[in-house]
Amino acid sequence: MEHIKKYIQEHKDRFVEELIDLLKIPSISADPTYKHDVYACAESVKEHLIKAGANKVEICSTKGYPIVYGEKIIDPQLPTVLVYGHYDVQPADPLELWESGPFDPVIKTTDIHPNGAIFARGACDDKGQMFMHVKAFELMMRTNSLSCNIKFMIEGEEEVGSDNLGDFVKSNKSRLECDAILISDTGIIANDTPSITTGLKGLSYVEVELTGPNRDLHSGLYGGAVANPINILCEMIASMKDENNHITIPGFYDKVVELSSQERADMARAPFSLEQYKMALDINDVHGEEGYTTMERTGIRPTLDVNGIWGGYTGEGAKTVIASKAFAKISMRLVPNQTDEEITKLFEDHFKAIAPKSVKVEVHPHHGGKPYVAPTDSPAYLSASAAMESTFGKKPVPIKSGGSIPIVALFEKELGVKSILMGFGLDSDAIHSPNEHFGLFNYFKGIETIPHFFSKFRELNQ
Ligand code: BES
Ligand code: MN
Ligand code: MN
């Protein structure tokens, strides 16, 4: 496979320049201000697919942002790999915490990335990782080594819940027919410790609104006599976990499968340093459900977190006021057998049940998603494992992630095909945070590994 390394060596500067150009487009799907940029980004992905040699490249419009499709069918008898990724990114704020502009990519070295990393919103999640596939495809086309049929489906609404991808998948089942779905939108443990993600969490996301008095009140004249919705909201949220950080919503754990001690022992074999973890986050201690390790808390246990909470006066100085309303955004990450519909309902019933009569409560569900588990004995897993082993020189370990890609469970349901999560990011790459970055080592390693996946996948499907 010398041709792979040679091609990357000859084209690496251009590979970086092209990614940088893509990262300059602020394709923030959550904020309508950037609508034109999101469309422009789809256009750019389309052009790149065409240039790399894809056929039937099309910008497929949806009720929301478009999906870019393209394919190269070399022989209908051969296996087909569907590559999924997203070209939309998270909002960049808080802007003041970025050391360089979020859409003004720069390359800098860090302790973890001594060979440099590209700093920009979307560098790792997911433009950099999605673009590795476009460049690996170009490489396979130019070196005449494409060994399977390939289809691309690159969407623009992943960061806002993929609301329209489901319809697209349902109405394009034959176009999307494939033998495996390959996704790079997750991470590896470390640059010297490759891993493959075999589990993703589901998600239930709600916004709650508490209303106390019909207007903001003087906190002296009314304080102590009227319910303060902010105080009440805090009490209600605090009561949703007990002293062991166990979630108290009745029925919440009913469907959660406990792992066997063997499975837990297997999980514990993945390299993890609690000391380094704490140091990287500048925390004195970790915090979570009693009886579980940090890896188990993020990988296999369902969680509940407040993502935002607001109400009352938050401006300069002091204003003595009891607010009429208080709000919070709350996410619950789900594990296999929990469904977002059920958990959202349990949350809503419980939240309303624990509210005192002195406040009115509304619960607004947002997008949700199902958890996902990937087998470790499928041709796709074995191909990814072999591919990573040949490029990293080490067999990757299977890991369960705390992150969610809700559409993966839907692919399985609608297309009957499992996805393989062969990502190349690091947890420390700051996705969704200020100063997001993607290591050049990781970018090139991804481009190098993908062609190995394709040749192994063909071999295992013969
Ligand atoms: N790529 C991430 C998910 C991810 C990252 C999974 C790292 C595993 C490891 C994806 O873009 C994402 O951010 N998903 C959202 C859910 C979505 C519905 C907004 C998430 O996990 O919060
Ligand atoms: Mn992503
Ligand atoms: Mn994301």
What value, to the nearest 5°, has the Cα angle with vertex 422 and ends 421 and 423?
A: 100
- The predicted pLDDT at position 77 comes to 96
Mean pLDDT over all residues of the chain? 97
Structural domain total, the chain:
2
* pLDDT tens figures, 29-64: 999 999 999 999 999 999 999 999 999 999 999 999
Q: Is residue 28 a contact partner of residue 38, using CB atoms and an 8 Å limit?
A: yes
Whether 296 maps to a domain, the answer reads no
Distance of CA 225 to the CA centre of its chain: 45
Indicate if 339 and 400 belong to the same structural domain: no
Indicate if 352 and 379 belong to the same structural domain: no
Q: Please check the confidence at residue 462 and state whether its pLDDT lies above 90.
A: no
**C-beta of 229 in contact with ligand 1 (< 6 A):** no
Domain boundary among 369, 384, 414: 369
**C-beta of 399 in contact with ligand 1 (< 6 A):** no
Q: Is residue 327 a contact partner of residue 208, using CB atoms and an 8 Å limit?
A: yes
| Confidence bin at 367 (pLDDT 50/70/90) | confident
Query: Which parts of 191-291 are beta strand (E)?
Result: 195-200, 202-211, 217-218
Indicate if 219 and 328 belong to the same structural domain: yes
> What percentage of the chain carries pLDDT values higher than 90?
97
Coil vs helix vs strand at 330 = strand
Average pLDDT over residues 330-346: 97
Domain boundary among 369, 394, 424: 369
| Confidence bin at 1 (pLDDT 50/70/90) | confident
**C-beta of 122 in contact with ligand 1 (< 6 A):** no
Which atom of ligand 1 is closest in space to residue 425's alpha carbon? Answer: 7
Indicate if 95 and 129 belong to the same structural domain: yes
Average pLDDT over residues 429-448: 98
User: Residue 441: which domain range?
Assistant: 2-200+371-460
Indicate if 228 and 150 belong to the same structural domain: no
Which atom of ligand 1 is closest in space to residue 432's alpha carbon? Answer: 13
Whether 326 maps to a domain, the answer reads yes
- The domain spanning residue 393 has which CATH number? 3.40.630.10
Indicate if 22 and 73 belong to the same structural domain: yes
Q: Is residue 259 a contact partner of residue 355, using CB atoms and an 8 Å limit?
A: no
Cα(285)–Cα(452) distance, integer angstroms: 41
Whether 269 maps to a domain, the answer reads no
Whether 285 maps to a domain, the answer reads no
Indicate if 326 and 388 belong to the same structural domain: no
- The domain spanning residue 350 has which CATH number? 3.30.70.360
Domain boundary among 349, 369, 389: 369
Give me the helix-helix angle, 127-142 and 440-460, nearest 10°.
Answer: 60
* pLDDT tens figures, 106-141: 999 999 999 999 999 999 999 999 999 999 999 999
* pLDDT tens figures, 59-83: 999 999 999 999 999 999 999 999 9
Residues around ligand 2, an ion, CB closer than 5 A: 125-126, 185
- The predicted pLDDT at position 2 comes to 87
Ligand number nearest to the C-alpha of 401: 1
Cα(157)–Cα(437) distance, integer angstroms: 21
**C-beta of 299 in contact with ligand 1 (< 6 A):** no
Whether 272 maps to a domain, the answer reads no
| Confidence bin at 91 (pLDDT 50/70/90) | very high
**C-beta of 202 in contact with ligand 1 (< 6 A):** no
Residue 119 bridge partners (DSSP):
106, 437
Question: Which residue has a Cα nearest atom 9 of ligand 1?
Answer: 186
Cα(125)–Cα(187) distance, integer angstroms: 10
- The predicted pLDDT at position 385 comes to 98
**C-beta of 187 in contact with ligand 1 (< 6 A):** yes
Q: Is residue 175 a contact partner of residue 289, using CB atoms and an 8 Å limit?
A: no
Indicate if 127 and 50 belong to the same structural domain: yes
Indicate if 360 and 331 belong to the same structural domain: yes
| Confidence bin at 449 (pLDDT 50/70/90) | very high
**Which one-letter amino acid corresponds to residue 128?**
G
**Conformation bin of residue 337: beta by default, left when phi > 0, alpha when psi is -120 to 50:** left
Q: Is residue 283 a contact partner of residue 277, using CB atoms and an 8 Å limit?
A: no
Average pLDDT over residues 6-25: 98
Cα(35)–Cα(17) distance, integer angstroms: 24
Indicate if 456 and 421 belong to the same structural domain: yes
Whether 129 maps to a domain, the answer reads yes
Q: How far is the CA of 126 from the centre of ligand 2 (A)?
A: 5
| Confidence bin at 282 (pLDDT 50/70/90) | very high
**Which one-letter amino acid corresponds to residue 326?**
A
Whether 240 maps to a domain, the answer reads yes
Which atom of ligand 1 is closest in space to residue 161's alpha carbon? Answer: 18
**C-beta of 185 in contact with ligand 1 (< 6 A):** yes
Indicate if 15 and 152 belong to the same structural domain: yes
Q: Is residue 116 a contact partner of residue 19, using CB atoms and an 8 Å limit?
A: no
Q: pTM higher than 0.85, yes or no?
A: yes
Q: Please check the confidence at residue 349 and state whether its pLDDT lies above 90.
A: yes
**C-beta of 4 in contact with ligand 1 (< 6 A):** no
Indicate if 111 and 91 belong to the same structural domain: yes
Whether 360 maps to a domain, the answer reads yes
Question: Which residue has a Cα nearest atom 5 of ligand 1?
Answer: 186
